[in-house]
C-alpha cells in the first residue's frame, strides 16, 4: 500500500488528509462553537504529518477558510497542499444551491485566495456541475484562472464517469471528490477509472457520518486490532486503492489524533473482504 499520492513533480502528499467541513456551526453554517479551538484542530493534523487539507468557500460560508488560514499562519514552514472548491451558494444552514455562472466561479476563486491567504490554489475543485450552464463554460472559467497562475490543478466533485470524460476533453482533471465509504460504494466504476488514469479519488463522508459505529462486523474487527471503528473504516479505504485520499473531518484535536492512527493499521485479507461485503 502506497502511503503517498503524487499530483505532480512538486506535489506529493500523505494520503490520509483532513477536511474542514465539520468546523463551522450546525448545518455547515456560521462560526464554530469554539472558534479559538478550530484552527488548533488543523494545527494538530499538520503537526502529525497531514499535508493535504480540503476546504471550500461554502463551508460557513468562508469560516472554514478563515480557520485554515489561521492554522497555516501558525505553521508557516509546513508544506501543505490546500484543496478548495467553488460552485455553491449558501442561503442558510443545510441549504446548498449550485451556481456555475463563470463570473461567480471566478469571484469565488478570488475569495478563496483572499480568505486562505494564498497567492495560488494547488487544487481547485468544481463543487458541483450546475446543469443550468454548459460544463465547458464552467471549466473554461477555471481554465482562465489556471492560465493566470491562480489555480495549479483542477478537480471535480460528485460526478459520473461520463462527466469526468467530458471534462477531460476540455482540460486536465486530477481529482474527483465523491461520496464513498464502507457502506456506500455506488461509484466503483468511477474509482476504477481513476485508478487507470492516476486521478485522485477523494471520498467525502469517509466515515458515513457515524452510521458505521454500531455495525457488528466492524465492531468485531475493530476489537481484533485494538482499534475503534472509525480507524478500521479509514484503514480499509487506504487499503482499497492507492488513489484514494480520505479527508475525515472533526472538531476535536483528540479525535483527529485518533483518526490518524488508521495509517498504521494493516487489515488482513480476510478482514478486508469481510468489510468489503458490508455494501453488498
List phi, psi (to 5°) of 121: -110, 125
* DSSP category for residue 163: H
* DSSP category for residue 131: T
* DSSP category for residue 261: G
Exactly one of 59, 63, 104, 133 is catalytic; name it. 59
The C-alpha atoms of residue 217 and residue 277 are separated, in whole angstroms, by 10
The C-alpha atoms of residue 122 and residue 152 are separated, in whole angstroms, by 5
Give the DSSP H or E segment for 84: strand 81-86
The C-alpha atoms of residue 205 and residue 203 are separated, in whole angstroms, by 6
In the residue annotation, 59 being an active-site residue is answered as: yes
The C-alpha atoms of residue 146 and residue 123 are separated, in whole angstroms, by 10
Label residue 278 exposed, middle or buried (CB < 10 Å: 0-12, 13-18, 19+). Answer: middle
- State the number of CA atoms in the 13 A half-sphere of 179 facing the CB: 7
CB atoms within 10 A of CB 21: 17
The C-alpha atoms of residue 244 and residue 195 are separated, in whole angstroms, by 9
The C-alpha atoms of residue 82 and residue 69 are separated, in whole angstroms, by 10
CA 78 to chain centre: 19
Q: Name 88's bridge partners.
A: 98
Catalytic residues: 59
Amino acid at each position: 500500500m502506497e502511503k503517498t499520492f503524487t499530483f505532480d513533480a512538486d506535489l506529493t502528499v500523505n494520503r490520509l488528509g483532513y477536511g474542514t467541513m465539520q468546523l463551522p456551526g450546525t448545518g455547515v453554517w456560521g462560526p464554530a462553537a469554539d472558534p479559538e479551538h478550530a484552527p488548533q484542530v488543523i494545527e494538530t493534523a499538520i503537526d502529525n504529518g497531514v499535508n493535504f487539507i480540503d476546504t471550500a468557500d461554502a463551508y460557513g460560508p468562508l469560516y472554514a477558510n478563515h480557520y485554515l488560514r489561521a492554522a497555516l499562519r501558525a505553521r508557516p514552514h509546513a508544506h501543505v497542499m490546500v484543496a478548495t472548491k467553488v460552485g455553491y451558494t449558501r442561503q442558510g444552514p443545510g441549504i446548498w444551491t449550485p451556481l456555475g455562472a463563470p463570473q461567480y466561479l471566478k469571484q469565488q476563486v478570488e475569495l478563496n485566495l483572499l480568505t486562505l491567504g494564498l497567492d495560488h490554489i494547488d487544487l481547485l475543485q468544481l463543487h458541483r456541475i450546475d446543469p443550468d450552464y454548459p460544463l465547458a463554460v464552467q471549466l473554461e472559467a477555471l481554465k482562465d484562472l489556471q492560465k493566470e497562475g491562480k489555480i495549479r490543478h483542477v478537480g471535480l466533485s460528485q460526478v459520473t464517469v461520463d462527466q469526468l470524460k467530458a471534462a477531460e476533453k476540455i482540460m486536465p482533471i486530477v481529482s474527483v471528490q465523491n461520496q464513498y465509504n464502507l457502506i456506500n460504494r455506488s461509484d466503483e466504476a468511477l474509482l476504477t477509472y481513476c485508478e487507470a488514469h492516476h486521478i485522485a479519488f477523494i471520498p467525502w463522508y469517509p466515515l458515513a457520518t457515524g452510521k458505521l459505529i454500531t455495525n457488528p462486523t466492524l465492531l468485531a474487527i475493530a476489537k481484533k486490532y485494538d482499534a475503534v471503528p472509525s480507524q478500521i473504516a479509514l484503514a480499509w479505504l487506504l487499503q482499497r486503492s492507492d488513489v484514494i485520499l480520505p479527508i475525515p473531518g472533526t472538531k476535536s484535536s483528540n479525535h483527529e489524533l485518533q483518526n490518524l492512527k488508521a495509517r498504521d493499521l494493516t487489515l488482513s485479507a480476510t478482514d478486508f473482504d469481510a468489510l468489503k461485503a458490508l455494501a453488498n
